[in-house]
């Protein structure tokens, strides 16, 4: 009879040693960001605990073992996207484990991930009016509200990732020049923004009235001893609770949806994909292009375009000496023009 995973945690120390070596490899050899390493650890811990609970040594793990884990331990509890992420973590771990001789070769290549379609889950943040409601809800005088207002404004105004908010340090705020520098772990560089009046006032109030005096240089700290930097999980949980308390109906809750809301709002205000991508710290416009798919107002405007004049123009081109459309394309475009796209919502 299998022992519970919870009971096996204390016995998983040998695997914890393997896990520690793997995470060290990711950090120093692969250069992974700290947040990515934390996610890898969280993803692998349940599997390693399950191995101990099932009395399966790491050296004897086979593709059948992996299949049993996904069909028995997590079936029906995880979404396909979650399973896919765990598969990537296991593949990475077993490639490293195989190179160290901890397990048989070829296990990583045998782990199949469920199919996840491109743009299957479009980033859907709250409407900008809901973001305003959220900011207004933390306009009180309690230390928690004052600190929460800083975090929410940083995520909403600058579109920062919650990890970037947690890593913000005192020296990153230039009060004289009214600028704020943000470390981008993914790009391994810093990005400078103008310090807006609202964000600056919120930070200044927090510094004067709430932030405890301690050696830590991070801006956002816990409010109780021992003082330490606020964690990513704590900020996300705080935002999620506020959103639900306001009764906001969102597909997803938490701090990261504020980044999506910022991007969508900037697009709606007429900024280009390149400008929005620069604001969010994207390295390529491809990472920003997905937000164009959730600009429903813009999509409706495109759908309402009357393309029949374009079809008439192409018909005239057909009669010219050098038509520039290949055979078959002109009829396809006629079909599009005849759809009457103005009725598509």
Q: Are residues 85 and 167 in the same domain?
A: no
The domain total for the chain is 3
Give one DSSP letter per residue of 96-139, joined into a string.
HHHHTTSS-TTHHHH-PPPP--TTSS------HHHHHHHHHHT-
The answer to whether residues 9 and 60 belong to one domain is yes
Residue 98 near residue 110, CB atoms below 8 Å: no
Joined tokens for residue 196: 């807006």
Give 194's strand partners: 179
User: What residues are annotated to the active site?
Assistant: 161, 186, 256, 259, 282, 291
Q: Alpha-carbon distance 283 to 160, whole Å? A: 15
| Claim to verify: residue 159 and residue 291 sit in the same structural domain | yes
Query: Is residue 144 located within the same domain as residue 234?
Result: yes
Place of tokens 């909403």: 156
Q: Is residue 118 part of a domain?
A: no
pLDDT along the chain (345 residues), means of 10: 39 77 92 84 92 92 91 78 87 95 93 64 77 95 97 94 93 95 78 93 96 96 95 93 95 91 84 82 68 50 51 57 44 49 41
Listing from the earlier edge strand, what are the strands of the sheet with 179-184? 173-174, 179-184, 189-194
Measured from the Cβ of residue 40, the count of other Cβ atoms closer than 10 Å reads 21
Residues 6+ apart with CB under 8 A from 74: 46, 83, 86
Is 246 inside a domain boundary?
yes
Kindly state the helix (H) or strand (E) to which residue 191 belongs, with its residue range: strand 189-194
Nearest to 206 by CA among 252, 166, 150: 150
Q: Answer with the one of 110, 140, 157 that is the final residue of a domain.
A: 110
Instruction: Looking at the structure, tell me whether residues 132 and 218 fall in a common domain.
Output: yes
pLDDT at 189: 77
Per-residue pLDDT at 179: 94
- CB-side exposure of 62: number of CA atoms within 13 Å? 2
d(Cα 130, Cα 268) in Å, to the nearest integer? 15
Please check whether residues 207 and 258 belong to one and the same domain: yes
Give the CA-trace dihedral at 265, 266, 272, 278, to 10 degrees. -130
| CB neighbourhood size of 10 (10 A) | 8
Tell me, what's the pLDDT at 272?
81
Domain-embedded: residue 154:
yes
CA 334 vs CA 304, 305, 313: distances in Å = 16, 14, 11
Out of 110, 145, 175, pick the residue that ends a domain.
Answer: 110
Parent domain of 339: 308-343
């Amino acid at each position: 009879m299998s022992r519970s995973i919870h009971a096996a945690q204390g016995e998983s120390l040998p695997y914890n040693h393997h896990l520690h070596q793997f995470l060290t490899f990711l950090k120093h050899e692969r250069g992974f960001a700290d947040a990515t390493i934390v996610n890898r650890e969280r993803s692998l811990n349940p599997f390693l605990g399950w191995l101990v609970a099932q009395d399966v040594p790491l050296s004897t793990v086979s593709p059948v073992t992996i299949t049993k884990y996904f069909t028995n331990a997590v079936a029906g509890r995880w979404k396909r996207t979650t399973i896919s992420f765990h598969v990537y973590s296991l593949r990475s771990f077993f490639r490293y484990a195989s190179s160290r001789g901890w397990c048989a070769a070829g296990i990583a290549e045998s782990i199949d991930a469920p199919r996840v379609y491109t743009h299957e889950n479009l980033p859907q943040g709250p409407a900008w009016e809901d973001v305003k409601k959220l900011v207004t809800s933390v306009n009180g005088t309690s230390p928690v509200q004052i600190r929460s207002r800083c975090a929410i404004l940083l995520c909403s105004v600058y579109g920062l990732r919650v990890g970037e908010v947690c890593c913000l340090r005192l020296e990153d705020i230039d009060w004289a020049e009214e600028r704020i520098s943000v470390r981008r772990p993914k790009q391994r560089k810093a990005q400078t923004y103008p310090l807006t009046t609202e964000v600056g006032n919120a930070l200044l109030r927090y510094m004067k009235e709430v932030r405890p005096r301690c050696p830590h240089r991070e801006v956002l700290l816990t409010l109780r001893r021992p003082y330490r930097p606020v964690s990513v999980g704590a900020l996300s949980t705080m935002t999620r609770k506020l959103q639900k308390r306001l009764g906001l109906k969102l597909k997803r809750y938490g701090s990261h949806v504020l980044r999506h809301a910022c991007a969508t709002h900037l697009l709606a205000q007429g900024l280009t994909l390149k400008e929005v991508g620069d604001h969010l710290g994207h390295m390529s416009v491809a990472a920003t292009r997905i937000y164009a798919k959730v600009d429903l107002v813009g999509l409706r405007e495109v759908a309402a375009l009357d393309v029949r004049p374009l079809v008439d123009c192409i018909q005239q081109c057909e009669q010219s000496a050098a038509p520039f459309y290949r055979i078959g394309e002109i009829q396809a475009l006629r079909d599009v023009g005849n759809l009457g796209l103005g009725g598509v919502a």
